[in-house]
Structure 1
């Protein structure tokens, strides 16, 4: 252990380990060694870890091209009331972000924590600080689109401790709770990155689908912060909660958007839903408009009329690799009080299966956050 680690730190920790593709039985509570920070890394005591679609997708092997259904449909194939798999066809090994997932894996893409130890060469000013971890890491440099994600490519925050490269750790000075900060990295980082790459500017009209989820509700706030006119699509039962975010117009997810908004009525569509309604999004876009996406919760297979694309000079943007400015921007917005957290519920990490089941019911607004064992 590096000399910076205090004697009060344990040798072992509790973690939720995902042992492979499959149902909730793949989530195992295990005792693991406390990580030792390498050169340039810090050891973080996890205070809160947000929950995201990607952790469920990775467990299910949903990123495999052989799976063409929505996340909740894929999950139901693995689940019975006993929590055991009900499908005979095995998930292909290439079901992770970049092919084969490195199981066994401690997932957890979001992390709010306290720096409790330093590896050789890490910035000593970080010790004792409450921090957020940049979930999308660009170890090959900002000129390359190669990227690594905590909790998908290497062990993440569904544990009591995690070791992370110091350059991806950001102190945050604010009055948010640990749970509130733990909701931020993946959802808000993904949302800010989409708006940054789509070059959203003040006065533009933006339509956000799946607006009640973690990324969707973050996008609403961040688009309003940029001065955009924001339209949101979500179930009618969630509209009251979304109004508090300053949305200009709300639409039910079953609404005829072309009839209500009109063709060529928006400049940017932020669509992480996809599925059967994808062609409608292109009808709504004005000439020169953009559609940006980083997900497909209603299903990855869509119909595309190329005439809409080329006759209207549209741009379709996929955004997984974060820009250099994305995470520093977010920290600045938090510290200035320009955005606020939207927490649907918090759970203890040992109740992760219960939390993921509730998540897939899609009745919530905002983020689910997991708190570790004491």
Structure 2
């Protein structure tokens, strides 16, 4: 007897462009697991900037403006995705899944059947799982979780023992592995003071929690309207997202004009001020540039102050298992702002792009 129907509901991306490129289907073929894959009945799937940027083509070098979520007039056909290469359409996006394993391929782990799982988003070469030249991302280079069912390599999933809801769990994997990997790259420890941009968003909120977990002193940057929400994360201090005199604001908040680490997901025209508050020997790490990818750097600042810069995308194979442990021990908490039914994904993404929420947004697979 089949464990899944032949067809399913899916939100299908038909090409690069605006939100009109999404098509809700109720007759999409249900995938079958390959020998090393599991079939997951998806309960919820979180939204992330990767979905927006891939749809719009923002990753293309032909685009130099901030992330808007709208269609760009010109993108290159050669590099419109995070991996710098084209993807095929139609494509089901969605990386952050929480669901139940209902079937497995011939060589996949059968003990996963019936387990509630979350997924590591990176499609690894399992003969060399820490290779940086990785083949893809779930929901980008292969179909993802904005559907009733999804398939993924059994080594990419972990059974999760948690009282958190499906939607809450669906906000964690992408944002928190991104944040943990960034902190690993920058070598953040208890001796550090970390300035965190975009602290009210999914990755920013994760950075505050995970840096706190390491014993670091965290300085969260967020708009004034969100300071009350950000305070729930327990940062050492909260400051405005773009103060004119950043050094003076830091001095007032912490007693020092400089920090040892900047953990940045924003970029844009404010970027030089972030670099100027790094102490000698300080580290800058980035995993995003939602305010714009083009920045101005005085190379003298970089070399005369012995600064180190880190880009962070591909996560090590230890990051996801570590995150599962943090979740199960209650060392991090989800920041679920709102849920939408799958059929309302375009509205959910429009809400996500507006950035008026705190934390993250998920779609759920209930009817409606």
Q: TM-score range by the shorter chain?
A: over 0.9
- For the pair 1:15 / 2:2, whether they are aligned, the reply is no
CA contact (8 A) 2:161 2:328 kept: yes
Q: Which residue of 2 aligns with 1:146?
A: 133
Tell me, in whole angstroms, the C-alpha distance in 2 between the residues paired with 1:318 and 1:328: 22
Aligned pairs (5 A) from 1:26-105: 26-30=21-25, 31-72=27-68, 75-76=69-70, 78=71, 89-93=73-77, 94-97=79-82, 98-105=84-91
Q: Which residue of 1 aligns with 2:98?
A: 112
Q: CA deviation at 1:299?
A: 0.3
Aligned pairs (5 A) from 1:194-213: 194-213=182-201
Tell me, in whole angstroms, the C-alpha distance in 1 between the residues paired with 2:309 and 2:154: 34
Query: 1:190 is paired with a residue of what secondary structure?
Result: helix
- Give 5+ residue unaligned stretches, structure 2: none
Counting matched residue pairs gives 357
- Give 5+ residue unaligned stretches, structure 1: 1-5, 79-86
Query: 1:48 is paired with a residue of what secondary structure?
Result: strand
Query: 2:108 is paired with a residue of what secondary structure?
Result: coil
Q: CA RMSD in A?
A: 1.4
Q: Which residue of 1 aligns with 2:287?
A: 294
Tell me, in whole angstroms, the C-alpha distance in 2 between the residues paired with 1:249 and 1:192: 20
Q: Which residue of 2 aligns with 1:82?
A: none
1:82-134 alpha-carbon deviations (Å, 9 max, x no partner): xxxxx7x4532231122212221100011111000010111111010000110
1:43-97 alpha-carbon deviations (Å, 9 max, x no partner): 001011000111011010001111111112xx34x3xxxxxxxx7x453223112
Tell me, in whole angstroms, the C-alpha distance in 2 between the residues paired with 1:15 and 1:108: 11
Instruction: Give 4+ residue runs of structure 1 displaced > 6 Å after superposition.
Output: none
Q: CA deviation at 1:297?
A: 0.1
CA contact (8 A) 1:142 1:324 kept: yes
TM-score, with length taken from structure 1: 0.93
Tell me, in whole angstroms, the C-alpha distance in 1 between the residues paired with 2:296 and 2:152: 40
TM-score, with length taken from structure 2: 0.94
Query: 1:327 is paired with a residue of what secondary structure?
Result: helix
